[in-house]
Structure 1
Amino acid sequence: MKDVAPPTTRRGLLAGIGVGATSALAGCSERLWSQAETPGSEQVSLTIKTVPADDNRLAASIASHLRENYRAAGIDATHEPVTKAELYRDILLEGDYDVFVARHPGLDEYDALRGLLHSRFRSEHGWQNPFQFSDVTADDYLDQQRVATESDRRDLLTDLIDHLAETAPYTVVAYPHPLSGASAEITVPSPPRQPQEYIEILSQSDNGPRDGPLEVGVFGEELTERLNPLTVDRNRIDGLLDLLYDPLARRIDGEYVPWLAEEVEWTEEDGIQARVTLREGLEWHDGESLDAEDVAFTLRFIGDTSMGDVDGGVPAPRYRSQQTLVSTTNVVDSQTVVLSMSDTTPAAARRVLTIPVLPEHIWDDRSELLADRQTRALADDNDDPIGSGLFSFADATTDLEIELEPFEEHVLRGATTGPDILDGFSQFEGITFRVSPNPGAMVEALIDGEIDVTASELPPQHTEPIRDAENVSTITGTTDAFYMIGYNNAHDELSNPYFRRVCSRLIDREHVVSEFFETFAQPAASSEELVGVNSETWGHDNLETDDEPEILRFPGTDGEVNTSRVRSLFQDIGYRYENEELLE
């Protein structure tokens, strides 16, 4: 492994940040004083985008609460509900927003922060820096943590997270406790959202064996569409596509469990290398063989879906951060591929193993350029998905259901050796997702015995009918997902970290959890949790970050802001008021 320069000391870095922050504030104050002296200043205006209440009542409630607090602060704030597909397109593709409230799927490792925030991803799509954020200090920390030793990395991450808690272009409100309803006739260890949670249900010996599929209830519109695993507006049934497409390894309970890979051997003699040996007999759902060429193709394709036809490439908006960990791939033989990594460590590099492998014989033909920086791979609905998962796609009835059938040729089905999670798999003949128009109808289907378990996020207010029924029960669990408020760094006012910092204080996290989540959530309560690191689900030793960052100090009580206190906060950073309006 190449020599790594010793990281700057924590004190030195913080001192440097202080100098930078002072310089930034000086420039910011100078601009603001200049504006204040200029007649005709207009009121600060912000539009908050989120999905409608029928799609996600929790996100809509947070947005409405935020709007009222912004207005109390003198901001001309509006709440604009848009469909989930529109919201993802506006945020993750076009950057067309001021502020958004959304449910983020969660971070799987500290290095995931790099994809979310590093300036190298500013021009890319997806959850790769959708904020247009650029911060030299953050970039330095994000780069250094990839190459540092384990002990040095911990210190760097501590400094990084403390820095981001004050400067990041988003803030986490709460981590929801996933809620589901389940039939009393089956055992459901935890709400199904990820493949491993479905597998756990399917593997419970007291659930079967049973003729017929596991009947899963979901709600919403257009849930049978967009089966493309690479797009930002892909199918919205959590876990569905991950049941169809297998990765080299799955992250289960914090561990990376070999899946398509039989073995992964790490070496550090000439940089970081992962020698991946695939299991024998791997097949795609259409009967074609899955080999090392497919693995190498997948990594190249995510990096450039045009396959070299466009200068600079057209990266896929999904899995891009993980893909950048790999510098070269070398196919040794049909079962062996060597992944060479640069500027990283095995602790960070293992994330690349979780990328779903794509069949080259299908996706290679989708590199055609359709429009400016859009290839067919990113526009195709992938109506008949061909993967290598434990289940294959059988049928989709428009707005009614999706059927997955067992892929009997999967090497892990009936294998005597394999991941422990597959012991007892499977007690059901496939999975059927039954679509309801709203959560109330989904709950009725559960109580009526039409479905076995609910998978869509169950709003807390819909749990009472389940508790009152005799044949069903509620179940809860933990998740990496979080509700966040995001800011567009290209917006005149939101580009100012001091302005963002005050805005992030205008949400009473404990009040939100109590009133909207009915306590079925954990409020962000530390620097780590404010940036998306949930210590409850990660199971790691907490970093020594600031336990009481300033952003957590809500200027008010019981969700209602104290107007005079808020005005003082904005005035302290150089803004002024006129007729109770906050001026630009």
Structure 2
Amino acid sequence: MDDVAPSTTRRGLLATVGVGASALAGCSERLWSQAETTGPEQVSLTIKTVPADDDRLAATIASRLRENYTAAGIDATHEPVSKAELYRDILLEGEYDVFVTRHSGFDEYDALYGLLHSQFVSERGWQNPFHVSDVTIDEYLETQREADETDRSSVLADLIGHLLQTTPYTVVAYPYTVSGVTEPLQLPIPPRCPREYIEVMSHPENGPRDGPLEVGVFGEGLTEELNPLTVDRNRIDGLLDLVYDPLVRQIGDEYVPWLAEDVEWPEEGQRRARITLREGLEWHDGESLDTDDVEFTLAFLEDTSMGSVDGGVPAPRYRGRQTLLDRTAVIDDRTIDLYVFEASQTAARRLLTIPLLPAHIWTERSEAVADRQTEAITVANEDPVGSGLFAVSEATTATEFELESFDAHVLRGTADRPELLEGFSQFEGITFRIAPNPGAMGGLLIDGEIDVTASELPPETAREIRNATATRTVTGTTDAFYMIGYNSRQDELGNPNFRRLCSRLIDREHAVSEFFEGFAQPATTPNALVGLHDWDFDDELETSPDTDPLAFPGTDGEPNTSRVQSLFADIGYRYEDELLLE
């Protein structure tokens, strides 16, 4: 892949403006301008991530990145902040230079649309947090939505190639999920999402049991924020997905009707999906769930102010999926038509996986409470009312969070239910036991106080669990990845050549070996660098030795300083006393 031709730099632009002004103002003013102009300063970057107690791997990657940036002559600072503050800085305020965090991964290739399209450059959440505005990226994202499977592969290959040149973010590694489990509980896969919890609770060798599944997690403030629309809070992975149900659940590569009894897609080329809801659907508070709630949810995500604020106030979550929707048409209480913009069925079906909200509760939360904020995206939602298989119990405390079985759920009693639910449930609900740190969570498991851990286990805690007499660990793969994100509004990071070179300053294979102790896959293919490690079209992507985004300029995690300096010089930067100058 050829290098992107360097764009006009800020230094070059200022120099050009300076020459024009001098010609007009005369010799004396030119001398005055030169006397007042300060010299170039060292390039400075701050790297934000959570503290090591919250995510040792993210903190370790950030620390090594700081060391490598420093070796490259950059004035680099590693700034650990709480998870809530990190998400607020990145996803709400855009106050960062570089961040390192664990991303939950993509459910479908179209997830890149919300992450990168310039339509979202001024929105909050995981909608374009890099503030990148690139017409070429937009064109590829729009085209892949409309293309059939054969053409879509080619478009995605072109998109990935362009992302490797522009590098709004880069992926370091795909961690394995590791859970501790007590004997003799059967754990098919570490539980992080509804499907995985259901598999544990449906396994015939795990019950039936008089009592809940006891799950260990760690962290602070995990139950303080139960709003499914917000992104700036720490929370238990998968919890709200157990409480709020969608029309359709994605189970692996399949889309399984859930609250929907049937999804009818007409002939190819049509833009309508007819949804028929299951009969007898209820919210946790006993109110009926009907197509008005479906219509409300989709409209509310687009504008949580419901028209009371000029320009609208979009929800920070699910917006990428919501933009697939053109309009809705309610036929009756159980039937609704969803009309999508030009999109293939493969892309459009993501719209059906959005969790539904009860209109009778959320309508009252449309009032504006601050600039570009509504109650809907600021409320803690302490008593969530969903339609899932589990409801939040009143017995919840600061150290225990209880989900009780929602016996009125239609899928608990019907014979016509998804295969996943055969044998469900062997337990009476789920109780999350909240520990302050990974070691304490591991201790609860070893002492027999919980059945399984759901927060990520660091290697040292996993070893303790494996060495105990009645516990073991279970490992699984995941779509989640550790990423490095760049704020394109920051002066130097606005230069794609600079971002691309910064993305090479981490030795991915060394990081997996040393930091993850082998419990991860390094991002070693072009598609893996953008978060699509399971994509099968690497042969359509090309790079050259000079622009290889995987080529770490060093050995065993240590950068070769002279080589790094040469690479920065090649893109127009210079050094003075080993310092990289703006």
TM-score relative to the length of structure 1 = 0.93
1:25 aligns with 2:7: yes
Q: How does 1:214-229 map to 2 (within 5 A)?
A: 214-229=213-228
Deviations 1:355-414 (A, max 9, x none): 000000000000010011100000100000000000001036443010000000001003
1:582 aligned residue: 580
Q: Equivalent residue of 1:198, what SS?
A: helix
Residue 67 of structure 1 deviates from its aligned partner by 0.2
In 2, the alpha carbon distance for the partners of 1:447 and 1:337 equals 50
Verify: 1:571 aligned to 2:569, yes or no.
yes
Mapped contact 2:92–2:232 kept (Cα < 8 A): no
1:53 is matched with: 52
Determine the structure 2 residue equivalent to 1:448: 447
1:391 lines up with 2:390 in the alignment: yes
The structural deviation recorded for 1:109 is 1.1
Query: Does the CA contact (< 8 Å) of 2:313 and 2:373 recur in 1?
Result: yes
How big is the shift at 1:522? Answer: 0.5
| Superposition deviation, residue 546 in structure 1 | 3.7
Mapped to 2, the partners of 1:287 and 1:171 lie a distance apart of 46
Larger Rg: 2
- Note if contact 2:525-2:538 (Cα within 8 Å) is conserved in structure 1: no
The 8 Å contact of residues 90 and 96 in structure 1, kept in 2 or not, is answered as yes
Pairwise CA distance, 1:564: 0.2
Aligned counterpart, 1:315: 314
Task: Give the distance between the partners of 1:484 and 1:234, measured in 2 at CA.
Answer: 19
1:230 counterpart = 2:226? no
| 3-state SS of paired residue (1:25) | coil
Distance 1:149 1:29 in 2: 45
Aligned to 1:327: 326
- What is the CA deviation profile of residues 468-494 of structure 1, one whole-angstrom value per residue up to 9, with x for unaligned ones? 112111001111111000000000000
Secondary structure at the counterpart of residue 393 of structure 2: strand
Correspondence for 2:540: 544
Relative distance call for 1:245 and 1:35 in structure 2 (3 A) is same
What is the match of residue 130 of structure 1?
129
User: Are 1:224 and 1:396, in contact at CA under 8 Å, matched by a contact in 2?
Assistant: no
Is the Cα contact below 8 Å between 1:250 and 1:258 reproduced in 2?
A: yes
How far apart, in 1, do the equivalents of 2:537 and 2:280 lie? 40
Name the CA shift for 1:559/1:395 in 2 (closer, same or farther; >3 Å): farther
Rounded Cα–Cα distance in structure 1 between residues aligned with 2:365 and 2:518? 46
Q: Which residue of 2 aligns with 1:522?
A: 521
Aligned residues of 2:87 and 2:233 also touching (Cα < 8 A) = no
1:85 alignment partner in structure 2: 84
Question: Mean alpha-carbon deviation: is it higher for 514-523 or for 227-236?
Answer: 227-236
Instruction: Tell me the residue number matched to 1:42.
Output: 41
CA shift, 1:534, in A, is 2.2
| Change beyond 3 A, Cα 1:397–1:415 | closer
- Which segment drifts farther, 410-419 or 297-306? 410-419
Q: 1:66 to 1:33 in 2, by over 3 A?
A: farther
The answer to whether the 8 A contact 2:49-2:99 is kept is yes
C-alpha spacing 1:557/1:31, structure 2 compared with 1 (3 Å): farther
For the 8 Å contact 1:277–1:335, the answer to whether it is kept is yes
Q: Please name the residue that 1:195 is paired with.
A: 194
**1:298/1:360 contact within 8 Å kept:** yes
Show CA shifts across 1:321-366 (max 9, x none): 0000001011100001100011211110000111000000000000
| 1:63 corresponds to 2:59 | no
Question: In the superposition, relative to structure 1, how do residues 105 and 269 fare at CA in structure 2: closer, same or farther (>3 Å)?
Answer: closer
The question of whether the paired residues in 2 share the 8 Å contact of 1:193 and 1:238 is answered with yes
Query: Which residue matches 1:559?
Result: 557
Question: In the aligned structure 2, how far is the partner of 1:427 from the partner of 1:405?
Answer: 13
SS of the residue corresponding to residue 276 of structure 2 reads: strand
**Cα distance in structure 2, aligned partners of 1:100 and 1:345:** 34
Q: Structure 1 574/278 Cα, relative in aligned 2: closer, same or farther at 3 Å? A: same
Length-normalised TM-score, structure 2: 0.94
Q: How does 1:112-123 map to 2 (within 5 A)?
A: 112-123=111-122
In 1: Cα distance, 2:49 partner to 2:190 partner: 24
Aligned-partner Cα distance in 1 for 2:186–2:281: 31
The unaligned stretches of length 5 or more in structure 1 are 1-13
Is the Cα contact below 8 Å between 1:525 and 1:547 reproduced in 2? Answer: no
- Taking the TM superposition and a 5 Å limit, the aligned residue runs for 1:481-496 are 481-496=480-495
Deviations 1:439-472 (A, max 9, x none): 0000000000000000001112211111111211
What SS does structure 1 have at the residue aligned with 2:142?
helix
State the Cα deviation string for residues 248-274 of structure 1 (Å, max 9, x = none): 111111111110011101125774111
Instruction: Name the structure 2 match of 1:212.
Output: 211
Please show how residues 371-520 of structure 1 align to structure 2 within 5 Å.
371-395=370-394, 397-520=396-519
Tell me how far apart the structure 2 counterparts of residues 94 and 559 of structure 1 sit (CA, whole Å): 33
Q: Is the 8 A contact 1:227 1:235 kept in 2?
A: no
Change (3 A) 1:366 1:66: same
SS at match of 1:494: helix
Moved more, 445-454 or 105-114: 105-114
Secondary structure of 2:573's counterpart equals: coil
Matches of 1:27 and 1:500 in 2, distance apart?
Answer: 14
Distance 1:32 1:564 in 2: 29
Change (3 A) 1:572 1:541: closer
Structure 1 268/558 Cα, relative in aligned 2: closer, same or farther at 3 Å? same
Structure 2 residue ranges without an equivalent (≥5): 19-33
- Structure 1: distance between partners of 2:212 and 2:271: 43
Query: Secondary structure of the residue that 1:88 maps to in structure 2?
Result: helix
Query: What amino acid maps onto 1:278 in structure 2?
Result: L
SS of the aligned residue for 1:300 comes to helix
* Matched residue type, 1:285: H
Indicate conservation of the 8 Å contact 1:394/1:404, yes or no: yes
Q: Distance in 2 between matches of 1:311 and 1:200?
A: 46
- Secondary structure in 2 aligned to 1:463? helix
In the aligned structure 2, how far is the partner of 1:422 from the partner of 1:166? 45
Task: Output the amino acid matched with 1:324.
Answer: T
Give 1:312 shift. Answer: 1.0
**Equivalent residues of 2:218, 2:437 under 8 A apart:** yes
Contact 2:57 2:515 in 1 (8 A): yes
Provide the alpha-carbon RMSD of the alignment: 1.9
Aligned partners of 1:290 and 1:523: how far apart in 2? 44
The count of residues paired between Structure 1 and Structure 2 equals 563
Q: Partner letter of residue 162 of structure 2?
A: H
Q: Which amino acid aligns with 2:540?
A: E
Matched, 1:295 2:277: no
Residue 174 of structure 1 contacts residue 522 of structure 1 at CA under 8 Å; is this kept in 2? Answer: yes
Q: Could you say what secondary structure the match of 1:40 adopts?
A: coil
Which residue of structure 2 lines up, in the alignment, with residue 102 of structure 1?
A: 101
- Post-superposition offset of 1:35: 12
User: Is 1:73–2:88 an aligned residue pair?
Assistant: no
% identical equivalent positions: 67
58-67 vs 159-168, which deviates more?
159-168
SS at match of 1:450: coil
How far has the Cα of 1:168 moved from its partner?
2.6
Shift of residue 526 of structure 1?
A: 1.1
Letter in 2 for 1:545: L
- Say if 1:526 and 1:547, in contact at 8 Å, map to a contact too: no
1:176 corresponds in structure 2 to: 175
User: Could you tell me which residue of structure 2 aligns to residue 257 of structure 1?
Assistant: 256
